[in-house]
Structure 1
Amino acid sequence: MKRKPLIGLTGYHVRGEEGHGGTFRGLPGQGFHVVGHDYIQAVGKAGGLPIGLPVLDPREAKGIIAQLDGLLLSGGEDIDPSLYGERPDMRCWTLVPERDQFELALLREAMDQGLPVLAVCRGMQLLNIAFGGTLYKDVSDIPGGSLCHQFHRAPRWYPAHRVTLKGKELKQWFQTDEIETNSYHHQVVKEVGMGLEVAAVAEDGVVESLRHPDHPQVLAIQWHPETMAVQNERGMIPFHWLIARILERGG
């Protein structure tokens, strides 16, 4: 591949709202599609060309995926519980159903077309739901308790807990059986989707990575490697994995 691989990055779907002192973040009612700077930097550093994807009609997904070399499903808002057979309640934070539907369509098209996919945090949860899995609406719902997975009291690259790698490919890429990761999520995988395999777990048993044997071009992880990469070169490993899968496919 002579040119840089085009990597589609999903992001937040932000609605304009009134701020402090009567100021507005944008015009009242106006929306924005926002891609995290750390994702952009990490994809670029790994050798890809990051392309921000606004939330569009799911029917556009097939044409979008056909133009890309890789897809990155980023973190963000909670996923609509109706997608896994439950109702929203006070444990849910912000819901953006239109983003859910668009990204599910992107993911399914990417898998159909064999496009390499890196699914981060919310992206991993979306993958689980796509295969019929469910989520805990909050980590506090886990029987027996859990670690703090929504760790905002340190820099974004700070390691919050250990993760044990179970998947063979992850062990090869990280060259170890255990790593330390940051953690910025309050929802976690409950029932693993059909056909998916748990590739990593946190110290408390929370699922930290999912793979599917029929879709080896998809890597889903719960932590945020893009923010870890700010201070830790190990954070770049998933992005190098993505570019390597793209080059293998294009070769």
Structure 2
Amino acid sequence: MKSAQSARPAGGGPARPPVIGITARTVPVTIQGAQMVVSLSLQSHVDFLAAAGCIPVVIPLRPGNEEILGSLQGLLVPGGPDIDPELYGQHRHPTTHGGSPGMDRAELALIGAALAGGLPLLAICRGMQLLNVQCGGTLHQHLPEVTGSDGHRPQGDTFEFGRHALELHEGSHIARIFGDDTPKSACHHHQAVDQVGTGLTVTARAPDGVVEVVEAAGHPFAVGVQWEAGQTEDDRLHRALADAARRL
């Protein structure tokens, strides 16, 4: 990947807004009675980044799309379906329901290029798991078998988040982002980091030991969080990504 380009134009004029790529999710929908497949992004990711002074762009998951990163100042990888366990050397658990292995590989390539190029990266839920797999780590495929409960993905008649107090490591990106006002996580996942990937540091855990945050050592800003950032009103992670993109 070419090195990320500066957001400041030649001639010393005002800096252009940083452009942040959001990897798309591909889902079937019905519009006006017609069934179709679309590539989309959660609107809150778009709104939070725009409010932070960025230009969000949605990146479809196609082979070779990592070449676009040379035109971006940051990358956001959101939540989504389970990852193909063959990509981290395991057989499929009965509860693992992934999307497309080809899309997994395309998204892994984007993450790998962002890491190699020093591009600011925020990886959320599935995104954090992809970051871990890209760095050679593995996943727990069904977390209740590890923790003994459904606390990270509550089961009930209505959708609800699991809430967990976070213990942040002093001096980490995540501790600087939240300071003394650390929220409880808002999570809805049945998989989580098992073996931590090479070059990643765990900087927050839930009380039951589940990894909630990883950061890439030696990278300007590569942070993975396990909870559903973007599905609450807290936009501090998005603003931190925007700040890192501006520093680029």
TM-score band by shorter chain is 0.7 to 0.9
- Provide Cα deviations, 1:7-36, integer angstroms capped at 9, x if missing partner: 1111211246xx8xxx99743xx4211211
Aligned-partner Cα distance in 2 for 1:171–1:15:
38
Matched residue of 1:72: which SS? Answer: strand
Query: How far 1:179 sits from its partner (Å)?
Result: 2.9
Aligned-partner Cα distance in 2 for 1:40–1:89:
33
Mapped contact 1:78–1:92 kept (Cα < 8 A): yes
1:11 has 2:15 as partner: no
Identity %: 33
Cα pair distance change 1:110/1:41, threshold 3 Å: same
Query: How far 1:41 sits from its partner (Å)?
Result: 1.4
- What does 1:50-199 align with in structure 2 at a 5 Å threshold? 50-57=56-63, 59-61=64-66, 63-142=67-146, 144-146=147-149, 148-151=151-154, 160-168=163-171, 169-176=173-180, 178-199=182-203
Mapped contact 2:73–2:120 kept (Cα < 8 A): yes
What's the Cα RMSD here? 2.3
Aligned-partner Cα distance in 2 for 1:146–1:178:
24
1:32 has 2:38 as partner: yes
Mapped contact 1:12–1:34 kept (Cα < 8 A): yes
Aligned-partner Cα distance in 1 for 2:184–2:97:
26
Aligned-partner Cα distance in 2 for 1:242–1:71:
8
Cα pair distance change 1:145/1:167, threshold 3 Å: farther
Matched residue of 2:183: which SS? Answer: strand
Q: Which runs of 5+ in 2 are unaligned?
A: 1-7, 9-14
Aligned-partner Cα distance in 1 for 2:24–2:69:
16
Aligned-partner Cα distance in 1 for 2:177–2:135:
25
Please report the TM-score for the alignment, with normalisation by the length of structure 2. 0.86
Query: How far 1:204 sits from its partner (Å)?
Result: 0.8
Cα pair distance change 1:70/1:106, threshold 3 Å: same
Cα pair distance change 1:69/1:3, threshold 3 Å: same
Cα pair distance change 1:26/1:123, threshold 3 Å: farther
Mapped contact 2:162–2:188 kept (Cα < 8 A): no
Please report the TM-score for the alignment, with normalisation by the length of structure 1. 0.85
- Provide Cα deviations, 1:166-206, integer angstroms capped at 9, x if missing partner: 15232222112843121111111111112211011011110
- Provide Cα deviations, 1:143-168, integer angstroms capped at 9, x if missing partner: x5245111476777x67221111152
Count of aligned residue pairs for this structure pair? 233
Mapped contact 1:164–1:201 kept (Cα < 8 A): yes
What amino acid sits opposite 1:208 in the alignment? E
Aligned-partner Cα distance in 1 for 2:208–2:220:
26
Query: How far 1:89 sits from its partner (Å)?
Result: 3.3
